[in-house]
Amino acid sequence: MHTHTRRILLTGAAATAAALVLAGCVDNSTPSSSGSSTSGANTITVSKDDTLAAELPASVKSAGQLTVGMDDTYAPNEYKDANGDPAGWEVDLTNAIGELLGVKIDYAIAKFDNIIPSIVGGKDDFGMSSFTDTTDREKQVDFVNYYQAGITWASAKGKTVDPDNACGLKVAVQSTTYEDTDEVPAKSKKCTDAGKAPIQVFRFDAQDQATNAVVLGQVDAMSADSPVTAYAIKTTGKLQKDGETFDVAPYGIPVAKNSPLTPVLQKALQKLVDDGTYGKILAKWGVSDGAVKTIELNLASKS
């Protein structure tokens, strides 16, 4: 259903506002360079599973680490903490995978649209960056599905916007996300097909920039993945949800096609679900709504 993740971003003066926005969650997580997912009072410890670790590809075993592609501009899923280190619930989840498999996690921070090419090219072992699993993307990579996210719109408090009737409005999105490539363009086409004004799409490189544009009144609304919009509403205190969450679809970890790593990641995530670690991480970040019970593969092509 989705061709890109659903995500949005900031620049210049926006960066200052972004820092204020992110300040609300800086204390939530302090991942260490060793890949620990412990943080503050919410200590989440994971023990190595020797059986699963033994199933890792030889190249990963010899390297002793997994290289993970990530665009750290999508709070609360993944972002930079006060020290500039990766933080967020997907970071905690990735660190837990590393601990379970007994390997170090090396985050390869990159622009979102460069991550899948890095996986296909063999530079990254997998990606963790709120990727919506789509049939289009499945032509390039396999997906290990671990979450369900929808799309949620938000506007400034007191300014009601109807996502289904936004003709002529200015809407912020993160570049190359599903909202940018599919969702908002489809809504705009409905407008023009009906003889109404198109939606004016404002594209940003990072989610916090898009959020900031709404806060500053530069645009009428923003469209982003449900956990991201919920977080923006909570941390800014200046936004409100518009309408209901829609287009619920699976997030997936992209891995090279037919990689021997894929079944290991699937088993590792399933163990984290079954032993409660996964649930604790989602609860810590307030994103339990999208939790799944079964870790599946390539759901987009199965739906």
User: Going by C-beta distance under 8 Å and a sequence separation of 6 or more, which residues neighbour residue 135?
Assistant: 1, 300, 301
Please report how many Cα atoms fall inside a 13 Å half-sphere around the Cα of residue 280, on the Cβ side.
Answer: 16
Instruction: Please report the pLDDT score of residue 201 as a whole number.
Output: 98
Residue type (1 letter), 295 = I
Conformation bin of residue 124: beta by default, left when phi > 0, alpha when psi is -120 to 50:
beta
Residue with the bigger pLDDT between 49 and 235: it is 49
Number of Cβ within a 10 Å radius of residue 122: 10
**Quick one: CA torsion of 254, 258, 264, 269, rounded to 10 degrees?**
30
Task: Say if residue 74's pLDDT is above 70.
Answer: yes
Considering the domain 13-148+250-302, what is its CATH architecture?
A: 3-Layer(aba) Sandwich (3.40)
Instruction: Please report the pLDDT score of residue 1 as a whole number.
Output: 37
Instruction: Please report the pLDDT score of residue 244 as a whole number.
Output: 93
- Averaged pLDDT of the chain: 88
Separation between Cα atoms, residue 129 and residue 109, nearest integer Å: 10
Residue with the bigger pLDDT between 95 and 38: it is 95
Instruction: Please report the pLDDT score of residue 178 as a whole number.
Output: 87
All structural domains of the chain with their residue ranges: 13-148+250-302, 150-248
What number is the average pLDDT over the span 291-296?
98
Instruction: Say whether domain 150-248 belongs to CATH 1.10.579.10.
Output: no
Least confident segment among 25-34, 106-115, 210-219: 25-34
Instruction: Indicate the pairing of strand 65-70 with strand 126-127.
Output: parallel
| pLDDT tens string 16-44 | 333 333 333 333 333 333 333 334 445 78
